Structure 1
Amino acid sequence: MGTSPQRADAVLGIDIGSTNVKVVALDSAGHVVTRVRRATPRSVDDPSIDAARLFECLEEMAVEACGERYAIAALCAAGIGEDGILADASLTPLTSALAWFDPRRTELFDELRHHLDPADDVGTSTDAARTLVGWAWARHQPGADRAATWLALTDYAACRWSGTAFLSDTLAARTGAWRPRARTWHTSRVHATLGTADLLPTVMPTGTVVGDVRSERLRNAGVLRPGALVVAGGHDHPVGGWGVHQLRPGAILDSMGTAEVVVAQTPAPPSHVPEAVDVSPGIHNTFGATVLHVEELARNVAWASRDPAVADALDRLISGNATPDDHLFSDTFHPGAAGGHTPFYAPRSASDPHSRASAVLGALARRGGLAVAAVQALTEPDAPVYTAGGWARSRGWLDIKQAVTGTAARVIAEPEVTAVGAALLAARALGWKPSVTAALNAGAEAGPRGAAAGR
């Protein structure tokens, strides 16, 4: 079935998240014309993702996003950083994708860590969430002996659509075994986990054209332009941050959802990187870098919300229906950090639920402010900060952030920043020059904006 000439060209941006998969269609002017969201398909008995089911889901969503009006001129997928699969020569999955948060990873990492050579040039910390732990798990699964390649879950659909096995460089940077500056593998780490570097596909820079879209389903549905392009996406936060970077070079994205992730593009790799800041390749910048800092957010709120009275106070403060007290500026709540460390209240902390909620949110706002400062120090002192994500739509939370840090952020109203960033990468590959302001709906001035209930 051919593509109707009545259909307008659009690019698709895909965000493969741990909870949901999102697809947006962007027209050549930069307007988001359709959105589709579905739950991420997972196995019934564990949190692993079946890559074949995910691919089928993405094809269905692509058809739905195009509807009767649009045809795909290019597409690009970004998403989960560490999950992946082993596949055979036809790119058929042989294993499921061990989730980055799967509790089995902790035990695996404890067994593995003593066999890993030290590496201070892999751009990220070495912990249970890294891809190399998934490599060690996958090589012992049934069917692993028939593997021809390892593929990142986020790149899998693009590999299938293009018929090319590849790995986006911003995802290579999440493995714990890739040297971003040298663009080479840490071979001893690869051998200790995956067993052989022969299973690793070609690493491609995010934003590279991989090939043409080859999909019988999309073609038969009449939604595929001849010569439609597959563009390498990669890790979700760098791709979203790159989109914001198009608004203003050097801008910082403070994305607040399950975690608070602060990310920016830098013109050159930083000479000194603070602890807890990850570094991956720059996007469309051969000599640049992406810097990224992650802080726990939702987990700390969930811990404090075990007390129903504190949970109610938190909801009212976050929504802007209550005003925090002076405990906002106290140090009586200690947030949990990466690695599963449990939050706790200091012995002298107030017992009043409103005061406890104020202390929790004040501590989280300070942590986020320090994360922004760490990234800002690697970009430029006056780099503007844009905020996005569910929490960015909560008026009370933005007021608290500004009160604690003394800094207001520009709010991006677009709810799917990563998917739009991927769509902008696809548009760039076509030579389009869409309005980034329109695409991200980023016309808001600095300061708190938006409605309540963004958690």
Structure 2
Amino acid sequence: MSVAAVTFAGLDVGTTTTKAVLCDPAGRVLGRAERPTPLGESDAGRLVAGALDALAEALAGRAPAAVGVTGMAETGVPLDADGEPCGPLLAWPDPRGAAQAAALADRLGAAALHGTTGVRPAAKAPLARWRWLAERAPAALAAMRGWAGAPELAVRALTGRLATEVTLAQRTMAFDVHRRRWDAALLAEAGLDPDRLPPVLPPGRPTGGVTAGAAARVPGLRAGTPVLLAGHDHPVGAWAAGVRAPGQVADSLGTAEAVLTLAAGPPDAASALGQGMGFGRAVDGATWYLLAGTGSCGALVEWAGDRLLGLPPGAERHAALGALLAAAGPGPTGITVEPYLTGRSAPAPDLGRRLALHGLTPEDDRAQLALAVVESTAYQARWMVETQAALTGHRPEAVTLLGGPVAQPRWPRVKAAVSPWATRVLAEPHAPALGAALRAAEAAGHPTPKPLPTERLAPGEEENAAAYQRRYAEAFLPLVTARSPDRAAEPAAEPAGDPAGDRTHDLPNDPRQQRS
């Protein structure tokens, strides 16, 4: 194979869709494909089949020099001694494990758990799920000889080997992020020991080579091609976008939104926990990240599109939202949205917070309301970035945006107007899959790929940056940080399910309050 013909494949097993790409060493995409990600209890086999189908379509018979795999964390399935599922596929939004997470927090202390693992106690954490299996499906746990997350399932299908890596292992709440090993005492809380968990490979070490069976299943793949488990999708996407050094920040937008700041070492764990943030090692194994998440992104826009804006479903929704935003007139609006569909996990965790609109008047139309919803996601993200800057001691020079919503012409321009730092945009929609491919290139002995190109973005002519920044400081922050006496105290653990989950939420009885 000539140097010019070298290609790399990447696979991203996401919550909604599984994406596959084929790229050259510069990150130029030569082929891409998607498949829906099935997350039913018996869907482990279908999840793998969809991933391999997507990979086959992206390759179109071409042979990559290496394959990288990334994807969502927490979702997984117990495997028996033969490598077959011996219990249900448990998706991360599934509420099973909530009581067990709360019990672990009560018994061991939320601060102690978080300090060791970097994870806040939550139903989605596999350690809580393993305790749930012990109580509700003991035969499955007794038969368990391995645990495979969604990306690990895909890697196992390609290589015949089960292993994990640090950025995924540390999402289980059973991995000591400081010592980089399974925590035997935490595993014992679920009746497990480290021998019943997969080995944790160091960054950049391939799990194995493509098997002959996988090569026959995916035209173009060659037996022996190295396959790398690149890591958790958020850190992998950030790495692809050039967020690789302490102080650099990525804002990953999708159904939910994640803000990730890199640092030279771990943050003060108590301070991070107090702000509802997790931490862990980045994909290079040397730097650390601080991670804040919110459901107040695509899920909020989807909710508003269904309930308030009357947007069409399916493929037409993106264009319809864009048209509304274009028609909204200059920003900022006089409407302030508290963007919390299922409470706020970070910063200043307040799980009693609910969606509320302030300042909506009878004169406001759907376009103004659409812009106000987008503004609220930008305000919330700025708050997360500023809080991480205080925790890490790194004031960002720039924040890099990536994910589906950056394709909206106005949405990232509103973010640029709200932010006091430079805003850069990665236009590539499949950053984690492409990042996995480029991480695999490095693991296969090729030079470390350069970051994907990003563009510095200025606010649009219709955005008044000074007014947006005043609005953030004088309207948004005071509203979302004011304590409401009727709200219950925050529980010890995170919500049982997806913070961007599909639930029914009520607006206040009279959202048309006077503008503040």
> Please, which of 103, 106, 114 is the counterpart of residue 95 of structure 2?
103
- Identify unmatched segments of 5+ residues in structure 1: 450-455
- Give the SS at the match of 1:445: strand
Indicate if the aligned counterparts of 1:319 and 1:394 stay in contact, CA closer than 8 A. Answer: no
After alignment, is 211-220 or 109-118 more displaced?
Answer: 109-118
Q: How does 1:28-427 map to 2 (within 5 A)?
A: 28-43=25-40, 48=41, 50-68=43-61, 70-107=62-99, 109-110=101-102, 113-118=105-110, 119=112, 120-121=114-115, 122-139=117-134, 140-141=136-137, 143-193=140-190, 195-219=192-216, 223-245=220-242, 250-271=247-268, 273-274=271-272, 275-286=275-286, 288-296=287-295, 297-305=297-305, 307-309=307-309, 315=321, 319-323=325-329, 327-328=333-334, 331=336, 333=338, 335-336=340-341, 337-338=343-344, 341=352, 343-345=354-356, 350=361, 352-354=363-365, 356-377=369-390, 378=392, 380-427=394-441
Number of aligned residue pairs: give it: 436
In 1, the alpha carbon distance for the partners of 2:378 and 2:224 equals 47
In 1, the alpha carbon distance for the partners of 2:252 and 2:324 equals 16
> Residue 17 of structure 1: CA displacement?
0.7
In 2, the alpha carbon distance for the partners of 1:110 and 1:271 equals 23
Q: 1:240 to 1:413 in 2, by over 3 A?
A: same
In 2, the alpha carbon distance for the partners of 1:295 and 1:77 equals 25
In 1, the alpha carbon distance for the partners of 2:425 and 2:373 equals 23
In 2, the alpha carbon distance for the partners of 1:213 and 1:19 equals 26
More strand by share: 1
> Residue 56 of structure 1: CA displacement?
2.5
Q: 1:307 to 1:227 in 2, by over 3 A?
A: closer
After alignment, is 126-135 or 338-347 more displaced?
Answer: 338-347
In 1, the alpha carbon distance for the partners of 2:437 and 2:183 equals 32
Q: 1:255 to 1:84 in 2, by over 3 A?
A: same
Indicate if the aligned counterparts of 1:115 and 1:192 stay in contact, CA closer than 8 A. Answer: no
- Give the SS at the match of 1:372: helix
Report what 2:10 is aligned to: 13
> Residue 299 of structure 1: CA displacement?
3.5
Q: 1:433 to 1:311 in 2, by over 3 A?
A: same
Report what 1:452 is aligned to: none
After alignment, is 362-371 or 179-188 more displaced?
Answer: 179-188
Q: Which amino acid aligns with 2:161?
A: T
In 1, the alpha carbon distance for the partners of 2:337 and 2:5 equals 57
Q: 1:219 to 1:315 in 2, by over 3 A?
A: closer
Q: Deviations over 1:198-238 (max 9, x none)?
A: 32122223422222222414147552335311212221101
After alignment, is 376-385 or 55-64 more displaced?
Answer: 376-385
In 1, the alpha carbon distance for the partners of 2:353 and 2:268 equals 33
> Please, which of 443, 458, 482 is the counterpart of residue 429 of structure 1?
443
In 1, the alpha carbon distance for the partners of 2:393 and 2:282 equals 13
> Residue 53 of structure 1: CA displacement?
2.3
In 2, the alpha carbon distance for the partners of 1:343 and 1:425 equals 40
Q: 1:302 to 1:222 in 2, by over 3 A?
A: closer
In 1, the alpha carbon distance for the partners of 2:333 and 2:293 equals 25
Indicate if the aligned counterparts of 1:78 and 1:422 stay in contact, CA closer than 8 A. Answer: yes
Q: 1:154 to 1:194 in 2, by over 3 A?
A: farther
Q: 1:294 to 1:245 in 2, by over 3 A?
A: same
Q: Deviations over 1:277-320 (max 9, x none)?
A: 2211122243x2122211222333344446435869x9368643
In 2, the alpha carbon distance for the partners of 1:204 and 1:131 equals 19
Q: 1:345 to 1:421 in 2, by over 3 A?
A: same
TM-score (norm 2): 0.75
In 2, the alpha carbon distance for the partners of 1:6 and 1:405 equals 42
After alignment, is 417-426 or 185-194 more displaced?
Answer: 185-194
Report what 1:453 is aligned to: none
Q: Deviations over 1:417-437 (max 9, x none)?
A: 100111111011123237535
In 1, the alpha carbon distance for the partners of 2:381 and 2:48 equals 35
In 1, the alpha carbon distance for the partners of 2:241 and 2:278 equals 18
After alignment, is 264-273 or 292-301 more displaced?
Answer: 264-273
Indicate if the aligned counterparts of 1:300 and 1:343 stay in contact, CA closer than 8 A. Answer: no
**Taking every aligned residue pair, what percent have the same amino acid on both sides?**
28
> Residue 31 of structure 1: CA displacement?
1.7
In 1, the alpha carbon distance for the partners of 2:160 and 2:437 equals 21
Q: Which amino acid aligns with 1:60?
A: D
Q: Which amino acid aligns with 1:99?
A: A
Indicate if the aligned counterparts of 1:155 and 1:168 stay in contact, CA closer than 8 A. Answer: no
After alignment, is 226-235 or 114-123 more displaced?
Answer: 114-123
In 1, the alpha carbon distance for the partners of 2:338 and 2:323 equals 16
Report what 2:496 is aligned to: none
In 2, the alpha carbon distance for the partners of 1:175 and 1:435 equals 30
